[in-house]
Amino acid sequence: MTEKAASVHWDGQGKTGHGTISTETGALSRSPYGFGSRFGAERRNTNPEELLGAAHAACFTMAFSFAAEKAGLAITEIETTANVRLVPQGEGFLIDRIALILTATGLGVDTARFHEIAEGAKRDCPLSKALASVPEITLEATLKEEPAAIRKAGLLP
């Protein structure tokens, strides 16, 4: 069992307030956020949706990596983006979609098997399960073949 912690400090009210986010590991240490970085054009600070996207992309990528290894797929590199959409709903807001975009590079990987494993990782990663109330979680998965020249040079298995 594992438990991780993050904390937030907030000063002020609503649109004029501002806060900081920290994690127990120190990966985030008093990282600023506020109304401008969440709803406006302010791009220097973070926001909850960006952090949720980072967490979901990281969890999914790790789940995919382990599943691919277990299935014997020779995946050498993985890049994942998670786009989190926040929309107005009534008096508040709703995260109505998370779009996961996976690009993986591998050697001799069967495309159908690759997609099957990617969909399973999306379904089974703990953050996907925790985010089950999000109406739409999509996955766009692209497989790239490792360049033949690198294989011939014996630099990869």
What pLDDT does residue 40 have? 87
Q: Is the pLDDT of residue 127 over 90?
A: yes
Average pLDDT for 8-36: 95
The residues near 51 (Cβ < 8 Å, ≥ 6 apart) are 21
pLDDT digit string, tens, across residues 61-72: 999 999 999 999
Residues of the chain with CATH 3.30.300.20: 47-157
Q: For all residues of the chain together, what is the average pLDDT?
A: 92
What pLDDT does residue 41 have? 87
What architecture is domain 47-157? 2-Layer Sandwich (3.30)
Average pLDDT for 19-46: 93
Going by C-alpha positions, the residue among 77, 130, 128, 123 that lies closest to residue 102 is 77
pLDDT tier for residue 157 given thresholds of 50, 70 and 90: low
| Token pair belonging to 24 | 């127990």
What pLDDT does residue 146 have? 75
| Token pair belonging to 143 | 């497989």
